[in-house]
Amino acid sequence: MIIERADVIVTSPNRNFVTLRLQTDEGHVGLGDATLNGRELAVVSYLKDHVVPLLIGKDAHRIEDTWQFLYRSSYWRRGPVTMAAIAAVDMALWDIKGKAANMPVYQLLGGASRSGLMAYGHASGIDNPQLFDSIREHLELGYRSVRVQTGVPGLKAIYGIAAQSTLDGGEERYDHEPARRGAQPTEEDWDTRAYLRHLPTVFEAVRNEFGPELPLLHDGHHRMTPIQAAKLGKSLEPYDLFWLEDCTPAENQEALRLVRQHTTTPLAIGEIFNTVWDFQALIKEQLIDYVRAASTHFGGISPLKKVMDYAAQYQIKSGCHGPTDISPVGFAAQLHVGLAIHNFGIQEYMQHGSRTNEVFQQSMTFENGLLHPGDNPGLGVELNVDEAGKYPYEQAYLPFNRLADGTVHDW
Ligand code: EZ4
Ligand code: CO
């Protein structure tokens, strides 16, 4: 089965997405997600100019060989642009193999290990009343676990707080979509001491309102020093978090050693990691509890399965990154992995907008708090090319932080 054609499709229904579409001589079509939020066109060029010409004429069945060829023959390896491009090829080839075998991809990965994947949603509010409303809304939508992000007194705009938006054709939607369309990134503000004082009071209020059972998560979004993160983990212990995510910036992985010495709050990291190597020490030294890799930024299904099998030796579980900047194709890819592996933990699930769901038709279901990729052959996602063509690329950037004195800070 030969790869005969490869197209890179850019569309911006509710936000920008980059999709690779491979076609074989036997008529099978495979899709891969190559979306890198705020740097989308770099991956488009990487694919169009440097990868597509190498794929034409290759055997579509040779997934591992093609992955190794793209990774090693480029010489430079790693990095989010390279790994998003390789991920798209990997996913598209798994999609094709599933269609050729007439099986959903999770069957090719060993079959289902559970009936569905527990998902958590993004509850947020600028203050406690707004946050409580948002948690209730998520429970009504069927979520059985929620991420809690809150405003901090004195700070105007911070990561993770949903804004009322009218993106979906006029209908009001409570959504957190950090990338803003425009020629410049927006500026937000930050003060770690104010945050460390405020956050435990919010979790105490949430536990008092919603009881001890509801799994609660929180994203520190790379903004603390190691000792600040240790302090936060310790102060949140009474509220029994499911995890504290990205408590320190990802580059300094040794920071987790210090955090770990001080707190039993479970730690999750890895949404900006690109390879198994980024996790190696963290897994082996048992410095984390959840692997946050996303199929799209981690080289696809093949390496995601490998890192999770490695993590399983240390009782470390999955918690794949699932924001709306992972397209329905990348999201489906990690649902198939999550259904098949033994050490699934939880899946982040922010729901895509209605225009996105028209461009990408999905067999995925979300019932009683559980996600399932569906039983269509392959990944279970079809791209409506005509619909995609209605929404051309629009420049968009993620925001960045400045402290009160003007210093740029991690966002
Ligand atoms: O900021 O996906 O856990 N989720 C996150 C996301 C990231 C965005 C960046 O593109 O941290 O909201
Ligand atoms: Co995060």
pLDDT, one tens digit per residue, over 379-398 is 999 999 999 999 999 999 99
Q: Determine the distance separating the centroid of ligand 2 and the alpha carbon of 324, expressed in angstroms.
A: 12
Predicted confidence at residue 163, as pLDDT, reads 67
Tell me the C-alpha to C-alpha distance, in Å, between residue 263 and each of 23, 229, 239, 259, 270: 50, 9, 13, 7, 19
Pocket test for ligand 1, best of 223, 292, 325 (most atoms within 8 A of CB): 325
Residue 90 has pLDDT above 70, yes or no: yes
Residue 150: pLDDT band (50, 70, 90) is: very high
Q: Which one, of 379, 317, 289, lies nearest residue 95 by Cα? A: 379
Sign of CA dihedral 344, 108, 349, 327: positive
Residue 296 has pLDDT above 80, yes or no: yes
Q: By alpha-carbon position, which residue is closest to atom 12 of ligand 1? A: 323
Q: By alpha-carbon position, which residue is closest to atom 2 of ligand 1? A: 323
Q: Which tens digit of pLDDT belongs to each residue from 197-233?
A: 999 999 999 999 999 999 999 999 999 999 999 999 9
The answer to whether the CB of 80 is under 6 A from ligand 1 is: no
- Tell how strand 3-11 and strand 347-348 pair up: unpaired
Cα–Cα dist 177/135, whole Å: 17
Cα–Cα dist 371/332, whole Å: 10
Pocket test for ligand 1, best of 39, 176, 221 (most atoms within 8 A of CB): 221
Predicted confidence at residue 16, as pLDDT, reads 96
For the CA atoms of the chain, what is the radius of gyration?
21
The answer to whether the CB of 219 is under 6 A from ligand 1 is: yes
Catalytic-labelled residue, pool 221, 222, 297, 336: 221
Cα–Cα dist 42/390, whole Å: 22
- Tell how strand 365-367 and strand 370-372 pair up: antiparallel
Mean predicted confidence (pLDDT) in 72-79:
95
Q: Residue 173: which residues within 8 A CB-CB, separation 6 or more?
A: 164, 165, 166, 167, 353
Residue 178: pLDDT band (50, 70, 90) is: confident
Cα–Cα dist 318/301, whole Å: 13
Mean predicted confidence (pLDDT) in 67-88:
97
Q: What atom of ligand 1 comes closest to residue 324's alpha carbon?
A: 2
Q: Residue 295: which residues within 8 A CB-CB, separation 6 or more?
A: 33, 87, 91, 301, 304, 320, 326, 330, 333, 334, 337
Q: Which tens digit of pLDDT belongs to each residue from 321-332?
A: 999 999 999 999
Predicted confidence at residue 171, as pLDDT, reads 42
Mean predicted confidence (pLDDT) in 112-123:
98
Cα–Cα dist 222/229, whole Å: 9
Q: What atom of ligand 1 comes closest to residue 37's alpha carbon?
A: 10
SS3 59: strand
Cα–Cα dist 175/195, whole Å: 22
Residue 235 has pLDDT above 90, yes or no: yes
Lowest mean pLDDT among 158-172, 239-253, 285-299: 158-172
Q: Determine the distance separating the centroid of ligand 2 and the alpha carbon of 246, expressed in angstroms.
A: 6
Q: What atom of ligand 1 comes closest to residue 38's alpha carbon?
A: 10
Q: Helices (DSSP H) in 236-324: which residue ranges?
A: 255-262, 276-284, 301-312
Q: Which residue has the tokens 């212990």?
A: 237
Cα–Cα dist 346/171, whole Å: 30
Q: Which tens digit of pLDDT belongs to each residue from 322-374?
A: 999 999 999 999 999 999 999 999 999 999 999 999 999 999 999 999 999 99
Q: Which tens digit of pLDDT belongs to each residue from 30-69?
A: 999 999 999 999 999 999 999 999 999 999 999 999 999 9
The answer to whether the CB of 40 is under 6 A from ligand 1 is: no
- Tell how strand 146-150 and strand 365-367 pair up: unpaired
Ligand number nearest to the C-alpha of 37: 1
Predicted confidence at residue 172, as pLDDT, reads 41
Q: Which one, of 94, 14, 124, 2, lies nearest residue 330 by Cα? A: 94
Q: Which residues face 362 on adjacent strands? A: 381
Q: Which one, of 245, 257, 263, 101, lies nearest residue 159 by Cα? A: 245
Q: What share of the chain is helix, strand, coil (3-state, %, to 5)?
A: 35, 20, 40
Q: By alpha-carbon position, which residue is closest to atom 1 of ligand 1? A: 178
Contacts of range 169-172, beta carbons closer than 8 Å, 24 or more positions apart: 169/354, 169/355, 171/354
Residue 162 has pLDDT above 90, yes or no: no
Q: By alpha-carbon position, which residue is closest to atom 7 of ligand 1? A: 323
Predicted confidence at residue 157, as pLDDT, reads 86
The answer to whether the CB of 177 is under 6 A from ligand 1 is: no
Q: Which residues face 146 on adjacent strands? A: 121, 216
Mean predicted confidence (pLDDT) in 170-184:
69
pLDDT mean across residues, the chain:
95
Mean predicted confidence (pLDDT) in 302-319:
98
Catalytic-labelled residue, pool 143, 159, 239, 290: 159
Lowest mean pLDDT among 100-104, 181-185, 286-290, 334-338: 181-185
Residue 146, token pair as written in the block: 């929620």
Mean predicted confidence (pLDDT) in 180-186:
91
